[in-house]
């Protein structure tokens, strides 16, 4: 038996959520008294995973795994799962991984659950806590079958360094036939992605127009944050759709979420519930967002943000 983590990487570097999945996998492997196997695709830095507990590392290099397609990745991962007798598979909470989870469960005849927030409360039976109803509730869920597949909710477990054996393993790859081919990838704007960001600076219709986002971008740059927005802002074309946060947009699990000129409609809050600290800046003291805030500033964004920028500049 073993625990296996699929560690997503991009251009040879790992996402924060990948390190979190490996940290979770290491704690689980220790709890079960088994080794931790990590699998990467086309990543020359896979050895880094040793520092987070990987005992064995498989880096798969193949012609048709250069870009993610579910058929190719799940087929290759399934082969390693089988040959390594992996009983628990850990994925991060990315869109690719959620897609993979269902395929892997299909191939292995096992079970898959997403949004897991803690180590299993019991291994036999295998019971995990997961968040549901846009993080408003938690459920304890039992997974059946020989192979259990779970994806970890971002920023719920944390990242911990712990040295593993880190042996690099060979895996002979047959090219996998697939009907899918990735022809183009359009990257979202901004230097920090919303999914990976520790800090998100988000703004809404209170900013009045796209020309006023310069100060939002400047604040985000100073904080090393990603920029985000409410739905109407992206609907009106003030900001790209990739920045739209909420029930119908992206979920945010940052440590700090700064909401500027956003009213706090239920559909927006649904996407940011799992962010740890929420700071709201709004000129209306009755704005519903204040009820969900840890810290609030009642004030005009056009006065507060430049002052904040000035203060931050004085500190760096
Ligand atoms: C099915 C459905 C799905 C939806 N999904 C989403 C979603 O995923 N994400 C989402 O965001 N919305 C979503 N919405 C829309 C949502 O209901 C709200 O309409 C939207 O979130 C409001 O955006 P806003 O807060 O930017 O704008 P507004 O509601 O117009 O709020 C603007 C805020 O800015 C404040 N303000 C104004 N001027 C200033 C100033 N100078 N300084 C500081 N503050 C100022 C105002 O007091 C106000 O609180 C959805 C709606 C529906 C029906």
Same domain, 139 and 209: no
Is 179 within a domain? no
Nearest to 43 by CA among 13, 84, 76, 2: 13
Is 15 within a domain? yes
Q: Is residue 86 scored above 70 in pLDDT?
A: yes
Band of residue 277 on the pLDDT scale cut at 50, 70, 90: very high
Chain mean pLDDT for the chain: 93
pLDDT of residue 191: 62
Lowest-confidence segment of 28-42, 74-88, 165-179, 195-209 by average pLDDT: 165-179
- CATH number of the domain where residue 228 is located: 3.40.50.1220
DSSP bridge pairs for 111: 148
- CATH number of the domain where residue 34 is located: 3.40.50.620
Same domain, 31 and 114: yes
Given 169, 189, 223, the domain boundary residue is: 169
* Pocket perturbation via mutation, ligand 1, pick of 204, 209, 275 by most ligand atoms within 8 A of CB: 204
Residue 246 CA: nearest ligand 1 atom is 8
Band of residue 111 on the pLDDT scale cut at 50, 70, 90: very high
pLDDT of residue 312: 95
Same domain, 162 and 214: no
Same domain, 162 and 251: no
Alpha-carbon span 34 to 25, nearest angstrom: 10
Higher pLDDT, 174 or 143: 143
Is 192 within a domain? no
Same domain, 146 and 29: yes
> How many separate domains does the chain show?
2
Return the percent helix, strand and coil in the chain, to nearest 5: 35, 25, 40
Same domain, 133 and 278: no
Band of residue 167 on the pLDDT scale cut at 50, 70, 90: very high
Same domain, 147 and 256: no
Closest residue by Cα to atom 4, ligand 1, is 267
Q: Is residue 14 scored above 80 in pLDDT?
A: yes
Tell me, in angstroms, the distance from the centre of ligand 1 to residue 175's CA. Answer: 48
Alpha-carbon span 275 to 123, nearest angstrom: 29
Same domain, 10 and 123: yes
Tell me, in angstroms, the distance from the centre of ligand 1 to residue 117's CA. Answer: 29
- Residues 270/247, Cβ–Cβ less than 8 Å: yes
Is 176 within a domain? no
Ligand 1 touching residue 312 (CB < 6 A): no
Nearest 5°: the CA angle 209, 297, 197 is: 70
Given 169, 190, 207, the domain boundary residue is: 169
Is 260 within a domain? yes
Instruction: Domain of residue 18: give its range.
Output: 2-169
Band of residue 234 on the pLDDT scale cut at 50, 70, 90: very high
Is 253 within a domain? yes
Alpha-carbon span 2 to 104, nearest angstrom: 16
Tell me, in angstroms, the distance from the centre of ligand 1 to residue 224's CA. Answer: 24
Q: Is residue 17 scored above 70 in pLDDT?
A: yes
Higher pLDDT, 251 or 33: 33
Same domain, 116 and 248: no
Which residue carries 């960001």 as its tokens?
197
Ligand 1 touching residue 248 (CB < 6 A): yes
Q: Is residue 241 scored above 70 in pLDDT?
A: yes
Is 205 within a domain? yes
pLDDT of residue 144: 95
pLDDT of residue 22: 98
% of the chain at pLDDT higher than 90: 80
Same domain, 225 and 295: yes
Higher pLDDT, 192 or 269: 269
Is 189 within a domain? no
Same domain, 131 and 8: yes
- Residues 52/157, Cβ–Cβ less than 8 Å: no
Q: Is residue 310 scored above 80 in pLDDT?
A: yes
Same domain, 274 and 163: no
């Amino acid at each position: 038996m073993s625990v296996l983590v699929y560690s997503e990487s991009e251009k040879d570097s790992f996402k924060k959520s990948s390190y979190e999945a490996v940290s979770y996998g290491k704690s689980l492997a220790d709890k079960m008294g088994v080794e931790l196997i990590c699998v990467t695709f086309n990543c020359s830095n896979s050895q880094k995973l040793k520092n987070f507990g990987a005992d064995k590392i498989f880096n798969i290099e193949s012609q048709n795994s250069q870009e993610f397609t579910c058929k190719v990745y799940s087929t290759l991962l399934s082969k390693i799962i089988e040959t390594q007798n992996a009983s628990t598979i850990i994925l991060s909470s990315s869109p690719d991984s959620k897609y993979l989870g269902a395929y892997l469960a299909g191939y292995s005849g096992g079970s898959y659950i997403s949004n897991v927030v803690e180590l299993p409360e019991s291994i036999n039976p295998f019971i995990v806590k997961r968040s549901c109803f846009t993080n408003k509730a938690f459920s304890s869920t039992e997974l059946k079958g020989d192979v259990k597949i779970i994806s970890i909710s971002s920023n719920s477990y944390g990242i911990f360094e712990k040295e593993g054996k880190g042996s690099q393993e060979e895996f002979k790859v047959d090219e996998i036939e697939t009907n899918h081919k990735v022809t183009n990838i359009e990257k979202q704007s901004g230097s920090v992605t919303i999914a990976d960001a520790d800090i998100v600076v988000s703004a809404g219709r209170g900013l009045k127009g796209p020309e006023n986002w310069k100060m939002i971008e400047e604040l985000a740059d100073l904080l090393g944050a990603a920029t985000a927005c409410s739905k109407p802002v992206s609907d009106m074309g003030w900001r790209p759709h990739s920045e739209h946060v909420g029930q119908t947009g992206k979920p945010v699990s940052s440590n700090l979420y700064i909401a500027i000129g956003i009213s706090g409609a239920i559909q927006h809050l649904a996407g940011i519930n799992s962010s740890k600290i929420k700071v709201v800046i709004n000129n209306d003291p009755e704005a519903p967002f204040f009820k969900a805030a840890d810290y609030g500033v009642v004030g005009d964004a056009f006065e507060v943000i430049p002052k904040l920028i000035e203060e931050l500049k004085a500190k760096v």
